[in-house]
Amino acid sequence: MRTHAPLVGAFAIITASLGLAVSVAAHHSGAGFNSDKVIELTGTIKEFQFTNPHTWIQMFVEGDKGARVEWSIEWGSPNSLGRQGIRPSTFPPGAKVTVRLRPMVNGAPAGGFVGAKFPDGKTVGRWE
């Protein structure tokens, strides 16, 4: 599934020009991500790939009619994040979470990480 339309029922899309820094810097940049747009997804963590050169949060998002889409959300290098206190356990498999990201310009289910908020109110990354 490469469009947002089937997922409208499951999450709210917010379009914003918040001026937030692009989370993915350095090695490959955020090529293909929309730097002017931030969307918000709520779903369940499948896996946090705490790997080089960049980390990836794999998250299942329920769409309408029960469809489940796996999103790939790219973040910084594990080294850089690790120095900031992020750990492989920061996004445990099965956890519910709401994530803000810069989506791909072509509508594919991927984007650059901005921030996340867990049901208990804990936030990760930028969540103003």
- How far is 45 from 59, CA to CA, in rounded Å? 4
89 near another protein (CB under 8 A): no
108 near another protein (CB under 8 A): yes
- How far is 110 from 33, CA to CA, in rounded Å? 8
- How far is 34 from 114, CA to CA, in rounded Å? 12
For residue 86, the minimal CB distance to another protein (Å) is 13
Q: Which is nearer to another protein, 31 or 128 (CB)?
A: 31
Q: Which is nearer to another protein, 80 or 127 (CB)?
A: 80
User: Rounded to a whole number, what is the distance in angstroms from the first to the last CA of the chain?
Assistant: 30
31 near another protein (CB under 8 A): yes
**Are residues 53 and 77 in contact, defined by beta-carbon separation less than 8 angstroms?**
yes
Touching another protein, residues 45-74 (CB under 8 A): 49, 51-54, 56, 58, 70, 72, 74
For residue 29, the minimal CB distance to another protein (Å) is 4
81 near another protein (CB under 8 A): no
CA distances from 89 to 41, 48, 49, 57, 95 (A): 20, 8, 10, 12, 11
According to DSSP, residue 5 is labeled G
103 near another protein (CB under 8 A): no
Using CB under 8 A, list all residues that contact another protein: 2, 25-32, 49, 51-54, 56, 58, 70, 72, 74, 77-80, 82-83, 104, 106, 108-110
